[in-house]
Amino acid sequence: QVIGYYIEVTKPNLHLVPPDYIRKQTLVNSERFITPELKEYESLVLGAEERIADLEGRLFSEVREKVAEAAPQLLDVAQAVAELDVLSNFAELAVERDYTRPEVADDDVIHIKEGRHPVVELTEEQRFVPNDAYIDTRGHRLLIITGPNMAGKSVYLRQVALIVIMAQAGSFVPARWAHIGIVDRVFTRVGATDELVSGRSTFMVEMTETANILHNATKRSLVLLDEIGRGTSTFDGLSIAWAVSEFIHDKIGARTLFATHYHQLNALEGLLPGAKNYRMAVREEGRRVVFLHKVERGGADKSYGIEVARLAGLPPEVIERAHELLQRFEEEDRTRERDFHVAQAAQLPLFAVASAPQPPENKPHPVVEELKSLDINTMTPLDALLKLAELKEKALKGTER
């Protein structure tokens, strides 16, 4: 095999080959020749790549050495350009999106008037509904936010955090007015998915994130909790959510926004001095619900989950059946609550005991004895409800016997 360039001449034309051609290879039907001039060009071409690589290496080394000599100046220029880029973008956003200059102070108050979510407001086809926010480490350190799905709870939590971060980064913020007390860290427990690779369930992921907050948050932190306890039974989830709220309020004291569907947590406002209830406003039109996306004072007593299911496209017969079951469950719940309040007011045995046959005078009913032994001054409302369910079950079993 001949490597390089050559001139191939067929056998019938060999008599035409000039005498200065040098035979290189003989084939069946032709012969291959080279010439001194062709050999010279071959050397130039075949060595070109090597010479190019060598030249590139030398030039790169020269440039690298010159850049290294000017590295401090180049880094200063890069830092200045980056800072100018960020500040110019801050300025452009402030003008184009009607942002305002926040007051940043070394205190514990976060007060926002007509705040907006900087991303969601750009994607909404309709006008974004602004909301106020007031949080401190005293009377408004734990905001319990209830309301239906799709009403805007998660957006509200995120917009408060984003406004705080933007203010501390030196940017104008999407609000009419804002006073931002500096936070040391922002902790979030929002959304959750399982981790199949590590074998962690959704609930385990949720609890791990919550544990991180409880171990690391400080009084200067901002904490966002978007649902806690959804991945387990109702009573377990409610108990955990309640206990977490108490711990953050009493032990940590961090400014906290807690969005939840556990309406029982509204009772915390009457138990914790720094807890306040807020809800997402809705307007009911028959069975239909209009989400107003407005945060208002007070706790919600409904989640309107069936309306969200209807909007998601569940079959009408499923929606109708869900309404029937909801009415039944709500009536049963009202009955239990009414009987509980009657029993409390009269300081008599609970409703299940009252309907049971009276035990003999000389042998008090065990449920009555257990009820008398309770120290209601040390019980939380949740403890009382759980104890009520336990006593009812015992009383009903006694009636069956």
Q: Average the pLDDT over 43-60 and give the result.
A: 88
CB-based burial, 176-201: b 16+ in 10 Å, e otherwise: eebbbbebeebbebeebeeeeeeeee
Range(s) of the chain covered by CATH 3.40.50.300? 102-314
- CATH 1.10.1420.10 residue ranges of the chain are 7-68
- Residue 71 confidence (pLDDT): 93
Q: What is the pTM of this model?
A: 0.67
Phi, psi at 5, each rounded to 5°: -95, 150
Q: How many residues does the structure list for the chain?
A: 401
- The CATH code that applies to domain 102-314 is 3.40.50.300
pLDDT exceeds cutoff 50 at 353? no
pLDDT at 352: 42
| pLDDT higher than threshold 80 for residue 375 | no
Q: Which of 84-88, 165-169, 396-400 has the lowest mean pLDDT?
A: 396-400
Nearest to 35 by CA among 47, 48, 18: 18
Q: Alpha-carbon distance 193 to 377, whole Å? A: 40
For the ranges 56-60, 149-153, 308-312, 340-344, the lowest mean pLDDT is seen at 340-344
Q: Is the pLDDT assigned to residue 356 strictly greater than 50?
A: no
pLDDT higher than 50, residue 347: no
Tell me which CATH code domain 7-68 carries: 1.10.1420.10
Out of 41-55, 65-79, 270-284, 326-340, pick the least confident.
326-340
Most confident of the ranges 100-114, 180-194, 323-337? 100-114
161-213 tens-digit pLDDT: 999 999 999 999 999 999 999 999 999 998 766 666 666 788 888 899 999 99
Count other Cβ atoms within 10 Å, centred on residue 45: 11
- pLDDT score of 381: 67
C-alpha to C-alpha distances, 354 to 78, 211, 339, 391, nearest whole angstrom: 80, 43, 10, 12
